[in-house]
Structure 1
């Protein structure tokens, strides 16, 4: 990443638009700060113009970055929606969250969330769009979504494309501000549904986006279908940013912007092969920018940070009761410009089941550690297909996908898309990209991120990296044991027992929606149970 280019983009954003008001010290009112938390659905780093990517038009994000801190190494706890969001809310890693650590399951009520701590400290909370989900919070004992009260009544009657959700996020935020008591600080979660699939094919082109100068990532074929799909993705990122700008403008008009901390990020990476649902870089690496009172601005931070760090950070801002037994660490020192001891920072991440993609509703357990230089992945069941089982019969058709219905079934952990269809239909034409997207993985993977951010070359078997591999393997194992990971402590398969409330497919074996798999349930080995 070109830091000089990013610096110029940030300075341009400062000149172009006011955005956040930078106040390194506590506001004169002495009121606790408001907090606006904006989270995109399936957006990878570095897909924002603040990162030097002009195809992605994100002036509101750029303004937040320009007036505050732009993080170049922010990572999710899981490359999937609901476990990532549960980790953000609790400050815990997914192996510490039982059912909430897998996709589309329960969110156990016993895990405290920072939004409840904020409410106890006098904050008014609410959300629009997507909160925690998909999954079942009602039957787990929650009276409302763990994020807080819902504000989703305001809808659009017409939209620029059929792929965009009709929720009028900015109008719902305005309704929240109108209804909240005067003088009380607020926390509001703007959970944009975009750029989650499905996209309207060709919508980016029709809205004037141009793929000229686009660098197609090495794990994707350079083909017009994929370029078109990427433009559709970029258009939906722009939609998220437009609503963020409306919200910032609304705060400015109401005189609240100078006392509001803005956090902008995403829940996991882009919905393309070798990204979402994968522990590779484009599945776990997301944008992050923070500005507002108490944040020393106009800075770029390269140190690795995890989104589980946001829970203790937010509670520090609010002077609220901290959550107990969490793994996240407050980002306040980094936000205040204290970069001591950042050279050895790292983050942990992992995954379990994503969709119903294998017989017996089994998942794909994997854990990873990401340092400034390396990504080490431990695949705990390398005999399984990481993106789901292939179709039982998948002859090479030689066809080229153009947004048509899927011509094959299989690899169901990859979201259906024109890109997926194209790749599966032409696997012999692009064997490298096909393999990166679908093939079984070795038990260990190691990537030198600075040279290979696309995670194309696995260096785990390279003798030049023997010491690095051994060090990261030991470090990851020790940390997982310390944090009580059932997979690491006892080899428990309890995660494969947890219910799934989403779509169930006709794979052999157990496939009862919303039920525990009895073959694995009796192997539960949680610490202290």
Structure 2
């Protein structure tokens, strides 16, 4: 007969461990499992081979903190108030799956980057919403400048060794890479060949861009190396068979027309999931999935009861299937969105957009097409001096694009590279439509092509219907509330409202709960 305590221990042991590895700014298809040249990711490939490789996985937002908040809550960004915009607050009223796992006996922790940037403490959290921090161990050397000296693997081992021997764990490996900055030329230095670099069609295929992407690949490989060490350690401990490993990214690559945009390279990310003891390996799926589906997946597999309502839907049917390609016919679309990214416009305004992605098409609605999508250019009054006194934080303009050699190249060569410059920097119409199978880089906007009029209307109507169901302020008549939300990160010298960490009273709603 099993005593009560032994019975509880037996139940606890049945729950799998979860290792969640999330890169910072990595686009699909930049992993070697997808056949992309110029990059080598054996750990990601190992996870994909042992389980399921997803061809159609998307983040909820093309920016760090709203994307991570969406992952933690299983909700889209328009359902998360301040947490739905970049670098703001994370309201305590939203339940995160990490807390629910901890409540049923999981040891939780993270290394590297958790939820952020933003301020969780003023919203009532006593720790980061991801869980306890394990960042004590540092490296003395890294392969390139710009790579963090956080010893991700060492911190994972420290976390593992301090937990109870029989406790299942959830560990968030939040790699800072491949977020910029990069050491210029580190890709060439590491032995990469520029002729093998995969350059997306929205960027010019020249040596400068190739070198910048090669530097980016070095940092993805750094992420993969630490993941590989964690996998080997779990195997040595006899834990690998009963560990779910999820490898993905929080948004797309930090290049013009990618990160902070709702086009394909801003929201489409790598995803591989394995559980050697349970999931059949060597499977590839074309099912459309969102990273908001991960929270309900973890909670269902962990048999957590009384889960709050989530918009994401569990991936359990896909993960436990023996099938390939399209598994769940109901998964016909995913939704994405963005609000403010950096302080890139006067009055701290954002660039509100929503999108719907099907297997064949991407439809984007830009609610404020009069605004610059990449942030405002440098004001005319500041262009006489470089950098102009009083405008140094505004130079070189278009601040929603991360500083990079690629960005400066397009700015300096905007006449000869006008096609690429316009894709990255120009204002956009209210509606964008792309035939993804023909145009995965989102080069040709076919929204005004009469051939696609019916498809555009169907997608527009479906998007609006889903947003209304989910209570999106942007379609319910009070969307400007997003422009009231504070920015806790750096502010620039734009005119208008410019107070860090404060609500913009111009857009505050009467019934709005203010976090102070």
- If the length of structure 2 is used for normalisation, what is the TM-score? 0.93
The answer to whether structure 1 residue 474 and structure 2 residue 458 are counterparts is no
Question: Hey, what's the Cα distance between the residues in 1 that align with 2:511 and 2:293?
Answer: 28
Q: Is the 8 A contact 1:192 1:240 kept in 2?
A: yes
Shift of 1:361: 0.2
2:225 pairs with 219, 222, 242, which one?
Answer: 242
Question: Hey, what's the Cα distance between the residues in 1 that align with 2:502 and 2:167?
Answer: 42
Question: Hey, what's the Cα distance between the residues in 2 that align with 1:154 and 1:275?
Answer: 33
Q: Is the 8 A contact 1:406 1:416 kept in 2?
A: no
Give 2:318's aligned residue: 334
2:280 pairs with 296, 300, 311, which one?
Answer: 296
The answer to whether structure 1 residue 354 and structure 2 residue 350 are counterparts is no
Question: Hey, what's the Cα distance between the residues in 2 that align with 1:183 and 1:344?
Answer: 37
The answer to whether structure 1 residue 415 and structure 2 residue 398 are counterparts is no
2:493 pairs with 501, 506, 515, which one?
Answer: 506
Give 1:128's aligned residue: 111
Q: Is the 8 A contact 2:194 2:207 kept in 1?
A: no
The answer to whether structure 1 residue 454 and structure 2 residue 438 are counterparts is no
Question: Hey, what's the Cα distance between the residues in 2 that align with 1:151 and 1:385?
Answer: 39
Q: Is the 8 A contact 1:82 1:104 kept in 2?
A: yes
Q: Is the 8 A contact 2:318 2:328 kept in 1?
A: no
Give 2:303's aligned residue: 319
Q: Is the 8 A contact 1:396 1:428 kept in 2?
A: no
The answer to whether structure 1 residue 153 and structure 2 residue 140 are counterparts is no
Please give the secondary structure, in 1, of the residue aligned with 2:428: coil
Question: Hey, what's the Cα distance between the residues in 2 that align with 1:62 and 1:444?
Answer: 37
Q: Is the 8 A contact 1:498 1:516 kept in 2?
A: yes
Give 2:169's aligned residue: 186
Question: Hey, what's the Cα distance between the residues in 2 that align with 1:117 and 1:391?
Answer: 46
1:232 pairs with 215, 235, 252, which one?
Answer: 215
Q: Is the 8 A contact 2:287 2:328 kept in 1?
A: no
Going from structure 1 to structure 2, the CA distance change for 1:513 and 1:129 (only over 3 Å counts) comes to same
Shift of 1:317: 1.5
Please give the secondary structure, in 2, of the residue aligned with 1:276: coil
Question: Hey, what's the Cα distance between the residues in 1 that align with 2:438 and 2:371?
Answer: 29
The answer to whether structure 1 residue 140 and structure 2 residue 123 are counterparts is yes
Q: Is the 8 A contact 1:229 1:418 kept in 2?
A: yes
Q: Which runs of 5+ in 1 are unaligned?
A: 1-26, 398-404
Shift of 1:464: 0.4
Q: Is the 8 A contact 1:359 1:507 kept in 2?
A: yes
Question: Hey, what's the Cα distance between the residues in 2 that align with 1:406 and 1:418?
Answer: 18
Q: Is the 8 A contact 1:76 1:308 kept in 2?
A: yes
Question: Hey, what's the Cα distance between the residues in 2 that align with 1:42 and 1:476?
Answer: 26
Question: Hey, what's the Cα distance between the residues in 2 that align with 1:144 and 1:373?
Answer: 42
Please give the secondary structure, in 1, of the residue aligned with 2:53: strand
Shift of 1:297: 1.9
Give 2:250's aligned residue: 267
Q: Is the 8 A contact 1:407 1:425 kept in 2?
A: no
Shift of 1:150: 0.3
Please give the secondary structure, in 1, of the residue aligned with 2:101: helix
Going from structure 1 to structure 2, the CA distance change for 1:443 and 1:497 (only over 3 Å counts) comes to same
Question: Hey, what's the Cα distance between the residues in 2 that align with 1:456 and 1:54?
Answer: 22
1:425 pairs with 412, 421, 426, which one?
Answer: 412
Question: Hey, what's the Cα distance between the residues in 2 that align with 1:469 and 1:521?
Answer: 33
Please give the secondary structure, in 1, of the residue aligned with 2:503: coil
Give 1:496's aligned residue: 483
Question: Hey, what's the Cα distance between the residues in 2 that align with 1:196 and 1:296?
Answer: 33
Question: Hey, what's the Cα distance between the residues in 2 that align with 1:524 and 1:221?
Answer: 49
Give 1:8's aligned residue: none
Give 2:365's aligned residue: 378
1:463 pairs with 450, 455, 460, which one?
Answer: 450
Please give the secondary structure, in 2, of the residue aligned with 1:433: helix
Question: Hey, what's the Cα distance between the residues in 2 that align with 1:341 and 1:242?
Answer: 33
Shift of 1:208: 1.0
Moved more, 417-426 or 313-322: 313-322
Please give the secondary structure, in 2, of the residue aligned with 1:219: coil
Q: Is the 8 A contact 2:61 2:267 kept in 1?
A: yes
Going from structure 1 to structure 2, the CA distance change for 1:466 and 1:511 (only over 3 Å counts) comes to same
How many residues get paired?
493
Shift of 1:495: 0.3
Q: Is the 8 A contact 1:486 1:525 kept in 2?
A: no
Question: Hey, what's the Cα distance between the residues in 1 that align with 2:212 and 2:338?
Answer: 26
Please give the secondary structure, in 1, of the residue aligned with 2:55: strand
Shift of 1:393: 3.6
Please give the secondary structure, in 2, of the residue aligned with 1:378: strand
Q: Is the 8 A contact 2:13 2:166 kept in 1?
A: no
Q: Which runs of 5+ in 2 are unaligned?
A: 1-9, 385-391
> CA deviation digits over 1:143-165, x for unaligned, max 9?
11000000000000111111100
Q: Is the 8 A contact 2:71 2:294 kept in 1?
A: yes
Give 1:75's aligned residue: 58
- If the length of structure 1 is used for normalisation, what is the TM-score? 0.90
> CA deviation digits over 1:32-51, x for unaligned, max 9?
10000000000000000000
Shift of 1:223: 2.1
